[in-house]
Structure 1
Amino acid sequence: MADPDTSYTIETEQQLWDELERVVATQCPGHAHETIDDALRTWLHLAAKCRDEFSQSEDDVAACSQRLIGGSLFNANRDYVRTQIIYSLMEEDEAGPLYVIATFLLLDGRHEDSAYRSMIDAGCFHRLLELINGNNESDPSLHRLLLQLMYEMSRIEKLRSDDLLHVDDGFVTYLFQLIEGLADDVHDPYHYPIIRVLLVLNEQYMVASTEAITDASSPMASITNRVVKCLSLYGPMYRTFGENLILLLNRETETSLQLLILKLLYLLFTTKATYEYFYTNDLRVLLDVIIRNLLDLPNEYLSLRHTYLRVLYPLLAHTQLSQPPHYKRDEIIKVLNILAGTGNFHFAPPDETTARLVDRVSKVKWLAEAGAGAGEIARKFLGISLESSDSASKISVVDVAAVTEKPGVKTPSRKAEFDTAEVSSPETDAKSIGDETKGAPSRRPKKPLPEVPRHRHGVPVPVARNGNGSPLPEKKLPPKAPPPRRKNRVQAAEAAPAPAS
């Protein structure tokens, strides 16, 4: 979609927005494709001009895309407009128009998930690989936006085998190198867009591997997980990624992102070459995070709890945490006992999968030596024999890969819900909803101090007032003298004079 041959010039920002409003409201009788194409060229030209000459922030370009999505030009010709902009992504090379196109496709996909499927079917994933690979220095904001678009597209829809085959070792290594190169960037301490792309690629590889297990003739069977491969071969060179991964899990509240992180951690702790990829101190932080989240998850979040437990077993069994001194052994045993159904009345009885996973963790050698009885407790509580079913205790990559959640869903906090329930009232219920969205636990309101009574023994006390009607300061009355102490009868008898004889 080339720039239009405009016969006018845009001199002010207001003139640009007025012209943009006119374009997105274009009516196309009979869905005339030439009219639509002309309008889209003008829109792209104006939006790119907005970024290059008038934009004060990235939000201005997003506003241009949002106006197109809300205008009659798009809504009356939705499929055609989307297709034309997708084709523009495939052909455009200039940074300005590419930024506008990527912004529109990102917003369009958030409004309608099927837009991402259309992008994948048109080959946009391969095109994004080409645009991202090695082009971060010329336009960092465009590079970040393309990473974000790749992430959103890949976490909503399953990629084709051809798409994954186009991801080579060089691209994955390039992303890890970017994270290491930005290790001291205070403006982006977690390198979020890059990490999320690596996480979603790992999930796509896991999904492909499960398909290969069920169908050996599937083209997915020949696909290698290049994220795990790179860390297996060059892990010590890319430890910043691992450090940031644990920091993200510690702070992340979106369930789908927690699952993405846990899936990669599971593979790293079950792949021998990456058992010791993390520093020992980072593993201790990770264990603290897992313990906290297991206790904080509400009872109904079974899938996420199961995934945490599936990661916990190889973490304790395969990494440096298996070596003495054993970090927080007593705390781990307490958590397992609680999850098995004892130790805390706020936890519901465990389901069979939780009991099986708790039993598996409790059999870690250094925990079993300490007398972890969580597995036995679970067996007695449920009346099932977990030891007799060896296949039931085996955890495969299929179980971990199958756990999903819609993007945007936040993981609630058991502590926050409990605190809210304690102080819930008709006046505070509305406020608690707002607090939950901010992630802030509700606080118990202070009781008002009792009012000083203005009466004595039920009789109102008149208030003395001065000439202008204001009350006079109260005078403190001196305390009354205590009544004379009465002598008891014995003392009185002794003091009485003897009768005369």
Structure 2
Amino acid sequence: MLPWSPTSSATSSSRHVHTRDEISHFWDYLESQLEPCDCTDEAKVNEALVCYLQIATESYHDYIVNDQDLYRTALTIIKSEVFESNREFCISKMLSLVSIETLEMNMKFIICYILLCHCKSDASSLDYMLEYQGFTVIYNCLYSQFAYLDKYDVEDNGRGRELPTEPVTDLDLEIVEDFKKISTVLLDLLFQILKYSKCEHSSLQKVDSFFVCYMMRTVRSDSLDDIFSNSKFRVLLALNEQYMISLQKEDLNNLVLEYLLNDEISRNFVELLLLQFNRVVDKPLQIMMCKLIYLVLSLDKETALHFFYVNDLHVFIDVLIRNLTNISEDEEGLRNTFLRVLYPLLKNTEWSSTYYRMEDLVKILDHLSYLDNICQTNEVKPEHLVTSKLSLKCLNEIKLMSQQGQSEKTIRNKNDYSRRKLDKNGNLAYVELNKRRSPPAPPPPPQS
């Protein structure tokens, strides 16, 4: 048997099917624990909070059996007068409970789920979490979960450091799944902190090699629906972003980049990166992926040359062309990001040998380099200027691109990035408007 056993909560095989009246009575009873009390009395607030958490924990897998029930449990408390009048105290109390190593696993899960729901509904709660060592608490708890899973998760593609000597039972597997479930919530909490707060240098220093290595080598590239894997992927992207911010002021080793450059560890991660880049529509996530790819491709030519397999490189270029073509004007900043990634990709990777879809690239870059083609009004925004300049950079400063562009007579002086003049206020003068050129048709998919 594994070293942790579940609580007395009903298992899926022995769960009692409750009547509608029983369910209604349970929720009434749970909510009654938060009935108005003297919210200025910290002892009474503490008692109400702990009672609520204890009942919710005892009812997990019994009355609280699905995501809807969990969300109701979280929403009930964070919308209560007890919580709203004492947010700082309640958050600090819940963090102190999570930090207890021997705390019942189900209670940790319930608490973390409540904290996650609150962070997503009110970003200001992140300030309280950081003030009360939330980063350290979540990181330490996650570290313990990872250490356990690294040792006992036999589904970890056979890469666990130590396999159980006794046969693995259904109960053992259920325990592992429970660890993954709470780890997923903790990862989402950590992502909220990394993405929407500025981590102190001391917090990033706590992150060690095992923590990053475990996440990177255990992500799955065979599925986009694995919530645990996707949560690890997102945290790695957000952690890399924090490293990039920190490196502007502090000398700190970027562990995400370090393990990304280790082929044996990062193979699945790179495959998942390509899959996500091809399919994800979440703008912040797209930008974080671009930052990581840009970081690798800009290190040195040797590193960039061997980062992508040729087929993967071609897929990535296909996606970039599609994204550059389809982005709307109000997402011009995202197009800037894609163009920043494109330049080192063309210059430093094997594209310089394959010239994959060169004609399509020249056409779309030439189109984007004219302000007439990307401004739908007479106002030129800074993002439009950046798009034009970056497009010209790809066309003019990469030798192969320039040669191809010259043959089609599309290369212009890099300072001549508009056929329109700007007035003293930075707006386009109507008298200088030329007829807009129609955007090019989306390029056909590559021939297989």
Deviation at 1:343, TM superposition (A): 9.3
Equivalences for residues 99-118 of structure 1 within 5 A: 99-118=109-128
Partner in structure 2 of residue 247 of structure 1:
275
Separation in 2 of the partners of 1:99 and 1:53? 15
**Does 2:310 match 1:280?**
yes
Deviation at 1:274, TM superposition (A): 3.6
Deviation at 1:329, TM superposition (A): 0.2
2:393 to 347, 357, 360: 360
Separation in 2 of the partners of 1:358 and 1:160? 36
Partner in structure 2 of residue 480 of structure 1:
none
Conserved 8 A contact 1:89-1:101: yes
Larger radius of gyration: 1
The unaligned stretches of length 5 or more in structure 2 are 1-15, 154-175, 421-438, 440-448
Conserved 8 A contact 2:118-2:125: yes
Deviation at 1:235, TM superposition (A): 2.5
Deviation at 1:356, TM superposition (A): 2.1
SS of alignment partner, residue 313 of structure 2: helix
**Does 2:170 match 1:160?**
no
Distance 1:128 1:76, change over 3 A: closer
1:338 to 355, 358, 367: 367
SS of alignment partner, residue 380 of structure 1: coil
Alignment deviations for residues 286-330 of structure 1 (CA, whole Å, 9 cap, x no partner): 111111111211223332121111100011111121213x11000
Q: Which amino acid in 1 is paired with 2:31?
A: E
Separation in 2 of the partners of 1:116 and 1:356? 38
Equivalences for residues 305-320 of structure 1 within 5 A: 305-320=335-350
Partner in structure 2 of residue 18 of structure 1:
28
**Does 2:293 match 1:265?**
yes
SS of alignment partner, residue 27 of structure 1: coil
Q: Which amino acid in 2 is paired with 1:293?
A: N
Q: Which amino acid in 2 is paired with 1:59?
A: Q
SS of alignment partner, residue 370 of structure 2: coil
Q: Which amino acid in 1 is paired with 2:247?
A: S
1:293 to 323, 330, 340: 323
Alignment deviations for residues 188-212 of structure 1 (CA, whole Å, 9 cap, x no partner): 29931111000000000111122x1
**Does 2:403 match 1:369?**
yes
Deviation at 1:338, TM superposition (A): 0.6
Identity of aligned residues (%): 26
- Please say which of residues 10-19 and 161-170 is displaced more in the overlay: 10-19
Distance 1:22 1:153, change over 3 A: same
Q: Which amino acid in 1 is paired with 2:399?
A: K
Separation in 2 of the partners of 1:94 and 1:260? 35
Conserved 8 A contact 1:176-1:241: yes
Partner in structure 2 of residue 238 of structure 1:
266
Deviation at 1:268, TM superposition (A): 1.2
Separation in 2 of the partners of 1:207 and 1:159? 9
Partner in structure 1 of residue 56 of structure 2:
47
Partner in structure 2 of residue 410 of structure 1:
none
Distance 1:345 1:222, change over 3 A: closer
Deviation at 1:183, TM superposition (A): 4.5
Separation in 2 of the partners of 1:20 and 1:169? 42
Partner in structure 2 of residue 391 of structure 1:
none
Q: Which amino acid in 2 is paired with 1:159?
A: C
Distance 1:186 1:17, change over 3 A: same
Separation in 1 of the partners of 2:228 and 2:36? 46
Conserved 8 A contact 2:374-2:384: no
Equivalences for residues 199-210 of structure 1 within 5 A: 199-210=237-248
Deviation at 1:71, TM superposition (A): 1.6
Deviation at 1:58, TM superposition (A): 3.0
Deviation at 1:365, TM superposition (A): 2.2
The unaligned stretches of length 5 or more in structure 1 are 1-9, 213-220, 385-414, 416-501
Q: Which amino acid in 1 is paired with 2:398?
A: V
Partner in structure 1 of residue 13 of structure 2:
none
Equivalences for residues 315-326 of structure 1 within 5 A: 315-324=345-354, 326=355
SS of alignment partner, residue 198 of structure 1: helix
Distance 1:260 1:345, change over 3 A: closer
Partner in structure 1 of residue 444 of structure 2:
none
Distance 1:169 1:374, change over 3 A: farther
Partner in structure 1 of residue 255 of structure 2:
226
Separation in 1 of the partners of 2:416 and 2:339? 20
2:96 to 87, 104, 119: 87
Conserved 8 A contact 2:393-2:414: no
Partner in structure 2 of residue 144 of structure 1:
184
Equivalences for residues 392-471 of structure 1 within 5 A: none
Distance 1:190 1:167, change over 3 A: closer
SS of alignment partner, residue 222 of structure 1: coil
2:334 to 304, 317, 320: 304
Partner in structure 2 of residue 191 of structure 1:
229
Partner in structure 1 of residue 416 of structure 2:
380
Conserved 8 A contact 2:238-2:288: yes
Q: TM-score, normalised by structure 1?
A: 0.67
Alignment deviations for residues 11-55 of structure 1 (CA, whole Å, 9 cap, x no partner): 95433212111112x222261111111111111112212324333
Deviation at 1:72, TM superposition (A): 1.9
Q: TM-score, normalised by structure 2?
A: 0.74
Deviation at 1:331, TM superposition (A): 0.2
Partner in structure 2 of residue 28 of structure 1:
37
